[in-house]
């Protein structure tokens, strides 16, 4: 059994892999609790993995914490994925390939099996990233937007009249808002959905969505899409397989 780990800006996600099959994703917001407490509670009773592969775009010190914990508990040194110019037949389109976030890189690699036409690969989290992948495996580049909560926080922090608004639930209908809360909720969703659709149309691309906030964007998309919650972990498994060659 191998363990695959995806650390975003706010959530820790992991899945076990055995016989090339990923288990269902486990996820937790690690900003709300002590990181080591999470490992002790959720990982300590796992079967000891033969390898641990990690994608981390969170704080760099988490790499140290994970290395120390895995070494102490499992006597394993985890392997941290890195962005390169080319991997798994995907060619990085960034001017400086190493500056592309490793989660975006792995999402592109994970999209490879679905590359029957150009792809618009979208990760909806603290930030929303949109990357275009040509059918030949060439990454054309991408965009970065503020995520739903990040956008809403920016509005409520900057505008005095909005400071007391709390967002506890999503707005599901597609009509114009009748109050300020729904106006901000819908406005931030429409901004992201509209950007996704604009990029997809411009590049005649099929949309693939991942990330924790994808479920809030999906009801407002008019284009065809594929929802793959474990896309980064899928990419991490393909990246790990290439490292073993």
Whether 213 sits among the annotated catalytic residues: the reply is no
Measured CA to CA, the distance from residue 218 to residue 237 in angstroms comes to: 26
For 127, the token pair is 């930030």
Strand partners, 132: 120, 141
Please calculate the CA angle 212-218-222 and round it to the nearest 5 degrees.
Answer: 155
Cα–Cα separations (whole angstroms), residue 205 to 72, 173, 193: 46, 26, 15
Catalytic position from the list 6, 103, 131, 213: 103
Local structure of residue 138 (DSSP, 8 states):
B
For 206, the token pair is 């099929």
| Helix-strand-coil split of the chain, %, nearest 5 | 40, 25, 35
Q: Which residues are catalytic?
A: 103
């Amino acid at each position: 059994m191998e363990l695959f780990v995806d650390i975003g800006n706010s959530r820790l996600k992991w899945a076990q892999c055995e016989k090339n099959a990923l288990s269902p994703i486990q996820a937790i917001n690690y900003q709300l609790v002590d990181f080591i407490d999470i490992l002790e509670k959720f990982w300590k009773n796992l079967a000891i993995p033969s390898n641990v592969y990690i994608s981390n775009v969170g704080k760099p010190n988490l790499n140290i914490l994970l290395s120390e914990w895995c070494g102490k508990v499992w006597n394993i040194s985890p392997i941290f994925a890195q962005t390169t110019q080319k991997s798994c037949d995907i060619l990085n389109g960034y001017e400086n390939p190493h500056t592309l976030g490793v989660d975006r890189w792995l999402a592109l690699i994970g999209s490879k099996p679905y590359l029957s036409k150009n792809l618009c690969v979208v990760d909806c989290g603290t930030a929303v990233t949109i990357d275009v992948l040509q059918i030949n495996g060439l990454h054309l580049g991408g965009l970065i937007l503020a995520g739903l909560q990040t956008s809403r926080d920016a509005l409520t922090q900057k505008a005095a009249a909005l400071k007391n608004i709390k967002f506890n639930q999503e707005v599901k209908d597609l009509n114009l808002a009748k109050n300020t809360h729904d106006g901000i909720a819908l406005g931030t969703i429409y901004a992201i959905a509209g950007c996704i659709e604009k990029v997809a149309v411009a590049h005649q691309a099929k949309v693939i969505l991942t990330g924790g906030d994808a479920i809030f964007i999906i009801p407002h998309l008019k284009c065809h899409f594929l929802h793959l919650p474990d896309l980064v972990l899928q990419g991490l498994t393909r990246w790990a397989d290439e490292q073993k060659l």
